[in-house]
Structure 1
């Protein structure tokens, strides 16, 4: 590892805080969140990407969260702020990849029986396909989405019309970080015009095939997970849990997915377009990294990206809401009479317009989660103004996940926290190094069922950072406090057809 990109370059300011001087010491340093153990997980490529991103045109702030690791242009687990430029890389190709949590009134002992859990897994898979290219046709009880409704999803997000057409409870839209996104000029007409152009020009091939991925999980690290809620026993946490609608010792369902093939097509199209223009115009790339292309705000290129990002974000929002509606339907089929309410839907791959350092800027969160505490101006006229909104942090099935609420100290990280544990092993390394029997035995020891005959090694808990240390970093840095712990009872992941149906 070179001296230039070494964890020792981090200047420590507290037990879980530090900074890295900006390139050539020009401007605000990079904010680092993480204990000593976590700081050692930031490898050479991660730090190199952080420095390239901080030195990019128009960037005023960069934050490395505890889950940070090498990403697309910018590290996964970073926050990039610019009042003048928009960057596709620090959003990524899975636009608005997100978390959602569905709380049910079902007591925990209702899912103790393995037969019940297996029936629930099967009922969910009949409705919500898994896998990179799979859509409604591979799930016989999926909700059918027409091309016309697919276009409305992209333009309107979780509007009353869209929710009614897809059987999504309309009140769930109020439990979203953003129920819909508008175009570069703050209108949905801009999205309608942009979508019409993209379809007419053949820029979204196989549009119908992408539309029918609504209501489905993708591959990789996307998942659905049945949880048991354990509320933290203090007054603040109990008050927040009450506002969030969480129920102690009851069943909940946690989902992680994004905008599927539609978002990937929109994002990859933008990367190609901007990279071609950079090459044609001879514009220097930050750190000579073609994944750090950008567009100055107000240009046609920026407007096109903002419109495409908004459409991808709308698709991801409705995808999550539809998945939750289908999951609830599956639970009701197996256990009649179950009721469910969305706790929250929150993204971690998005750029949002917010106020930072007293001025309006675009806050790019790449594998980072919004963390607005009580009293934050953005929470005015929402149920969360007096508590802060729910933060959904997935760990891994064995160590569990958490629901948190932001503290006032989140200001130091541009009101953001990590989106999960973060990888400590690449996929190829995990497949090569981890023992399959140990991976499966770990889940069995914790009585966690899955839809996979063998659990994917590249998604095993050992492929991710120590979740306890990650959470300690968040709490010690004063960013957020826990409200509830989530204990996994079963997990749904992408698996080859021949490997499904574990006993």
Structure 2
């Protein structure tokens, strides 16, 4: 493998926060990040980027400022192909996503620590955390029977599904995608696929997986009570009004995905495709078993697109249900509370989009869509004039951001990073970070948590400098900040990550 120093030397700066990484065989990789951010890309991350760019059918690859080594392709990359589908640049937590709920509460409604502790308890009574945890583990969850679960994964956030789960149906209009239809773009096709998977026992313990609807999982997934601070410029205030953000009021930010169902479907697809590559003697891109692929139109590609859709529909409804349960918890503690969904947006998905006048599959792994006002894909949505909300989690200490795309986002295939990105691996963070210092920092910032001890591998110091990451996005001309979200409490789990 090429050394880090020589790899970094190959990056050619093209602006304050942009560069290219030549591959020697194709058009170069687009790199987004200031010089200091580019220094955080380690050997494996850069090698994965090169392997991915040189893989069959790939026409563009973007490396975002949060990039770090991932599953085949780096987390924090965008990979474009008009001819092939790749499971690796989607990952095992299909449609891991962000959502934001705006509440009608002033910030002082959560000043009192006893109120925040009561809210934490009320939320945790409804939305379990931890790998494998589901409805049976908490007392006030929505119970989802198997037949409803089947409709969830084959219909997504349909009006019928939302009504049965107590989710406001109009929230579906605030979703990047409320429904994924698989390669046939139909619920009927997904029902056929689901029936085959269950009949062949490839989707084991479906009932148990469905019981995880309305739960966060473990690792880097979280729920976070925020106070909204809208930027003081005219554009930020105008865009915030369209988004439904209210300055100085409470909001709730959630990060989770498709839980055990997505993991099982993704793992099954990796195993199946890896067996095909072995059987046919096909060379793996960069020799990496996690970069298996399928040509579009093949039975293997069709199967993957269907399975990705099943998991993505689960993730969509999972987020909407979590937001409904969080609102219910606030109403229990602070009667009369009202809330509206601002947006729900994914960062682990492949979507069919037009890139350079060519219809392609845009794989976003730890990257999120960033389409500015006037983009054709936003016609008929509430955001066609402004661009849609971009939800970027940072860390509880430094806050998170709501952004909106600028015209320059075209250079990154209308994508930005999904957050700060790890700078310390989980094992290294566990070894090097001091638990007492982490807990003291939360106390100093008056941020509560449901964890007895905040997990060291999820501490702010385990992630890149969020302000430098945002600086990269802004200086590259990709997006502008609309609001900063300041944490008041965090719902988290200390168990193994399922992202």
State TM-score, norm by structure 1: 0.97
Please state whether the residue corresponding to 2:232 is helix, strand or coil: coil
Q: Is the 8 A contact 2:389 2:403 kept in 1?
A: yes
Structure-2 residue corresponding to 1:138: 137
C-alpha distance after superposition, 1:32-54 (max 9, x if no partner): 00001100000000000000000
* 1:282 positional shift: 0.4
Q: Is the 8 A contact 1:88 1:267 kept in 2?
A: yes
Q: Is the 8 A contact 1:227 1:490 kept in 2?
A: yes
* 1:3 positional shift: 4.0
Q: Is the 8 A contact 2:438 2:456 kept in 1?
A: yes
Structure 2 unaligned residues grouped into runs of 5+: none
Instruction: Determine the C-alpha separation between the residues in 1 that align with 2:100 and 2:332.
Output: 20
Are 1:363 and 2:367 matched, yes or no? no
Please state whether the residue corresponding to 1:209 is helix, strand or coil: helix
Instruction: Determine the C-alpha separation between the residues in 1 that align with 2:9 and 2:389.
Output: 34
Structure-2 residue corresponding to 1:429: 428
Q: Is the 8 A contact 1:6 1:43 kept in 2?
A: no
Structure-1 residue corresponding to 2:13: 12
Instruction: Determine the C-alpha separation between the residues in 2 that align with 1:472 and 1:152.
Output: 42
* 1:235 positional shift: 1.2
Q: What is the 5 A alignment of 1:81-100?
A: 81-100=80-99
C-alpha distance after superposition, 1:393-424 (max 9, x if no partner): 00000000000000000000000000000000
Moved more, 98-107 or 2-11: 2-11
Instruction: Determine the C-alpha separation between the residues in 1 that align with 2:447 and 2:456.
Output: 16
C-alpha distance after superposition, 1:276-300 (max 9, x if no partner): 0100110000000000000000000
C-alpha distance after superposition, 1:84-132 (max 9, x if no partner): 0000000000000000000000000000000000000000000000001
Instruction: Determine the C-alpha separation between the residues in 2 that align with 1:379 and 1:2.
Output: 42
* 1:234 positional shift: 1.1
Structure-2 residue corresponding to 1:248: 247
Structure-2 residue corresponding to 1:499: none
Structure-2 residue corresponding to 1:106: 105
* 1:495 positional shift: 3.7
* 1:186 positional shift: 1.7
Structure-2 residue corresponding to 1:30: 29
Structure-1 residue corresponding to 2:409: 410
Instruction: Determine the C-alpha separation between the residues in 1 that align with 2:335 and 2:381.
Output: 32
Q: What is the 5 A alignment of 1:3-402?
A: 3=3, 6-22=7-23, 25-402=24-401
Please state whether the residue corresponding to 2:485 is helix, strand or coil: strand
Q: Is the 8 A contact 1:95 1:258 kept in 2?
A: yes
Instruction: Determine the C-alpha separation between the residues in 1 that align with 2:172 and 2:139.
Output: 26
C-alpha distance after superposition, 1:20-74 (max 9, x if no partner): 112xx22221000000110000000000000000000000000000000000000
Please state whether the residue corresponding to 2:15 is helix, strand or coil: coil
Q: Is the 8 A contact 1:7 1:43 kept in 2?
A: no
Please state whether the residue corresponding to 1:121 is helix, strand or coil: helix
State TM-score, norm by structure 2: 0.98
* 1:8 positional shift: 2.0
Q: Is the 8 A contact 1:405 1:483 kept in 2?
A: yes
Q: Is the 8 A contact 1:183 1:189 kept in 2?
A: no
Please state whether the residue corresponding to 1:13 is helix, strand or coil: strand
* 1:188 positional shift: 1.6
* 1:12 positional shift: 0.4
Q: Is the 8 A contact 1:389 1:406 kept in 2?
A: yes
Please state whether the residue corresponding to 1:328 is helix, strand or coil: helix
* 1:16 positional shift: 0.2
Instruction: Determine the C-alpha separation between the residues in 2 that align with 1:271 and 1:380.
Output: 36
Instruction: Determine the C-alpha separation between the residues in 2 that align with 1:345 and 1:105.
Output: 19
Instruction: Determine the C-alpha separation between the residues in 2 that align with 1:197 and 1:389.
Output: 37
* 1:193 positional shift: 0.3
C-alpha distance after superposition, 1:194-220 (max 9, x if no partner): 000000111111111100000000100
Instruction: Determine the C-alpha separation between the residues in 1 that align with 2:287 and 2:19.
Output: 27
Structure 1 unaligned residues grouped into runs of 5+: 497-503
Please state whether the residue corresponding to 1:238 is helix, strand or coil: helix
Instruction: Determine the C-alpha separation between the residues in 2 that align with 1:158 and 1:90.
Output: 25
Structure-2 residue corresponding to 1:2: 2
Please state whether the residue corresponding to 1:74 is helix, strand or coil: coil
Q: Is the 8 A contact 2:429 2:462 kept in 1?
A: yes
Instruction: Determine the C-alpha separation between the residues in 2 that align with 1:337 and 1:436.
Output: 38
Instruction: Determine the C-alpha separation between the residues in 1 that align with 2:199 and 2:323.
Output: 33
Once superposed, what is the RMSD of the aligned Cα atoms?
0.8
Please state whether the residue corresponding to 2:58 is helix, strand or coil: coil
Instruction: Determine the C-alpha separation between the residues in 2 that align with 1:424 and 1:125.
Output: 29
Moved more, 75-84 or 1-10: 1-10
* Runs of 4+ off more than 2 Å: 1-6
